[in-house]
Structure 1
Amino acid sequence: MPLVTTGELVSSAAARGHGIAAFNVITLEHAEAIAAGAEQVAAPAILQVSENAVTFHGGRVEAVAAAAAAVARSSFAPLALHLDHVVSVDLLYAAHEAGFSSVMFDASKLPYAENVAATAKAVSWGHERGIWIEAELGKVGGKEGEAPLDAHAPGVRTDPEEAAAYVAATGVDALAVAVGSSHAMTERTAALDHGLIARLRDAVPVPLVLHGSSGVPDEEIRAAVASGMVKINVGTALNTAFTGAVRAFLEADPKTVDPRKYLVPAREAMAGTVAGFLRVLSS
């Protein structure tokens, strides 16, 4: 079916008090697995390509975007295309031509005033082109190249009053907040601050986004959505499934040289992971 927009999927989920999952795409197999998992559950999903993934593909966003979009259009599940964790302004400006309906512009490492100024400029640019803009306030650690960050350390979590002022000053369409999760977690042990999520929901007039959801247990995700989270980002869990399936296949048959032999179970494992997260959100 035709691509839908991220804004449509997030708005629909928010109106129904549901969550919408956004899954990271690195390879073609990731995109195919996300579509397959969404079809298994008959649920919508967002395919998101991060700036790190673009860097992996030689800094050229067009090819990975076109591949993800082609997979989405050939699926019968409602799927959107999102550009995630964009720091580069040049990459932001490439989003529209590459076919993305939304961008997460990440100025969270800048001092607050600079973050506001840079994000407001990104929002103005995006809205002129019909692009939905997500931003981040607080410190969701765990990104590659960053020092370890305790998700429960003082000053890490997003302050509701500051979040309300930030949204008013920037005009963002959604806000990623720090509430106890962390990127790149391979074990699902994160404990979220559901009281803070509820306060943020009440303070902020736009949908809330949970980054680092791979490390959040199912019951915590359900409770987070009940408290006010809408967009739920998942990346590492897919890579864990992919790598685990490849490793198991090659350990059992180390003489295999045809990558299709182990990419099939890898893709199937990711599709199962996608379907699992979507079932949690649909329940």
Structure 2
Amino acid sequence: MGTQLLSGTAIDAAVERADAALIGYIPVGFPTVDLSICAGKVLADCGFDVIELGFPYSDPAMDGPVIQHATSVALERGTHLEDLFHAVDELTSYGIATLSMTYWNPVEWYGVERFAADFAAAGGAGLITPDLPPEEGAEWEAASDLHGLERVYLTAPSSPQHRLRLIAEHSRGWVYAASSMGVTGERSSVGLQVQPLVERTRQAGAQRVCVGLGVSSAMQAREIGTYADGVIVGSALVRALCEVDQGRALRHLKDVASDLASGVRGARR
């Protein structure tokens, strides 16, 4: 099984290089399990620092149309948690820190402590849990502490300061600053409220803050990278994988990924 690689360590290494860390979201099982693993390796080769494997869910409340389509395909093809553990093992063995973004139901169904043990054994860094707030996370926090896993909770521009303090206190690894209140998807601009959110989250005690939801271009990645520790990209990568021809899809992904990597390079200087 993979040696555990923590995303916080990868983010720190990027910041030390004067880059912002680049975090790429790929739904495991889209277009197939093997191709999602290949896609993660393409991102690693292009200079991404962390992979975020989305586990497909039947009611993805936070996801926009591109990711909803991809997760529907993955579900139809029978993607299950063992595929997630396999993908994590493959990518950590390849040398890139890998988390999973998952809704809470699959973890609860599998068994929280069992999930934490198996995920850590595969080398996984930890979980991003969009529908599990810290107030309801006691069982997960105990299991993640036991197995050395990161806990990434989400903040939003509307989060009051007391809530940011709660999230910063309970997160382990980094905090996910959602650039807007809406669903995932590419946007022409990421929003003026994002930098103040990052600053408020840091003031609340967060060690590392990464920004996601809507990043789709090198210019946006660079802008965010000047003030955030990491930049999270999802829909723009998944859209590249929607090409019918698999070889063309991976080539398109490489072009998009290389462009985004050029955006974060030197952004922290």
Distance in 1 (alpha carbons) for counterparts of 2:145 and 2:89: 21
Distance in 1 (alpha carbons) for counterparts of 2:246 and 2:190: 30
Residues 4 and 159 of structure 1: CA distance in aligned 2, closer, same or farther (over 3 Å): same
Q: Per-residue CA shift, 1:189-219, capped at 9, x if unaligned? A: 332422332232233332113221434x433
Residues 128 and 2 of structure 1: CA distance in aligned 2, closer, same or farther (over 3 Å): closer
Alpha-carbon distance, 1:71 to partner = 4.8
* Residue in structure 1 matched with residue 96 of structure 2 by the alignment: 79
Q: Does 1:128 align with 2:146?
A: yes
Decide whether the 8 Å contact of 2:176 with 2:210 is kept in 1: yes
Q: Per-residue CA shift, 1:113-165, capped at 9, x if unaligned? A: xx333224322220111111111133xxxxxxxxxxxxxxxxx5333443023
Residues 178 and 81 of structure 1: CA distance in aligned 2, closer, same or farther (over 3 Å): closer
* Residue in structure 2 matched with residue 105 of structure 1 by the alignment: 129
Q: Per-residue CA shift, 1:209-262, capped at 9, x if unaligned? A: 3221434x43333232222x223222211221122x43xxxxxxxxxxxxxxx1
* Residue in structure 2 matched with residue 111 of structure 1 by the alignment: none
RMSD of Structure 2 on Structure 1 (CA): 3.0
* Residue in structure 1 matched with residue 60 of structure 2 by the alignment: none
* Residue in structure 2 matched with residue 184 of structure 1 by the alignment: 184
* Residue in structure 2 matched with residue 153 of structure 1 by the alignment: none
Residues 269 and 181 of structure 1: CA distance in aligned 2, closer, same or farther (over 3 Å): farther
Alpha-carbon distance, 1:175 to partner = 1.6
- Please report the TM-score for the alignment, with normalisation by the length of structure 2: 0.73
Structure 1 regions of 5+ residues with no counterpart? 109-114, 139-155, 247-261
* Residue in structure 2 matched with residue 48 of structure 1 by the alignment: 52
Identity of matched residues, %: 11
Which letter maps to 2:103?
V
Which letter maps to 2:98?
L
Alpha-carbon distance, 1:31 to partner = 2.8
Alpha-carbon distance, 1:87 to partner = 1.6
Decide whether the 8 Å contact of 2:218 with 2:261 is kept in 1: no
* Residue in structure 2 matched with residue 119 of structure 1 by the alignment: 137
Alpha-carbon distance, 1:23 to partner = 1.8
Tell me how many residue pairs correspond in the alignment.
236
